[in-house]
Structures are given as structure tokens and as C-alpha cells.
Amino acid sequence: MDLNEFAAYGYFFLVVFLVVGLYSYIYHLYKNRKDATGVDYEHYSNMALHDDIDSTPVKPVSHEKEN
């Protein structure tokens, strides 16, 4: 086993490890959409595209003061 063959095996296993890591991270993101408080931030993702003055708010705002 020379150095080139060892480097090829190392590169292959590194690529496989990174692909598995990427797909597991994507699965983790879609499985746990809510944070610890139970808030789902998925509806905030389109906020940058719809940022006009007359756009509807992402979350309704109450004008009552909380005690």
C-alpha cells in the first residue's frame, strides 16, 4: 500500500463521513423545528422577502400591557 492508495482511501472515507454528517444534520433540523420553548420559527423564514410597510406581521402584536 503506497501513499497514493492510502490518500485515496482516506479521501473516500472523509467524503462518506461528511455526506452522512450533512444528511444527519439536515434530518435533525427538520425533525426539531421547534425550539425549547415550543416556538416554531419556520414561518419567519420568508420575512426578508416580504418586508414592505404594508405587509402583515409575522406574529400578531397585542397593544395591551402585560402585568
60 domain-assigned:
no
> Which cell numbers in the block locate residue 35?
425550539
3 domain-assigned:
yes
Q: Which pLDDT band holds residue 67 (cuts at 50, 70, 90)?
A: low
With 0.85 as the threshold, say if the pTM is over it: no
7 domain-assigned:
yes
48 domain-assigned:
no
**Mean pLDDT over the full length of the chain:** 81
5 domain-assigned:
yes
59 domain-assigned:
no
Is-contact 58 43, C-beta < 8 A? yes
Total domains in the chain come to 1
Q: Which pLDDT band holds residue 63 (cuts at 50, 70, 90)?
A: confident
User: Which residues span the domain enclosing 23?
Assistant: 1-32
Q: How far apart are alpha carbons 23 and 27 in whole angstroms?
A: 6
Distance of CA 65 to the CA centre of its chain: 34
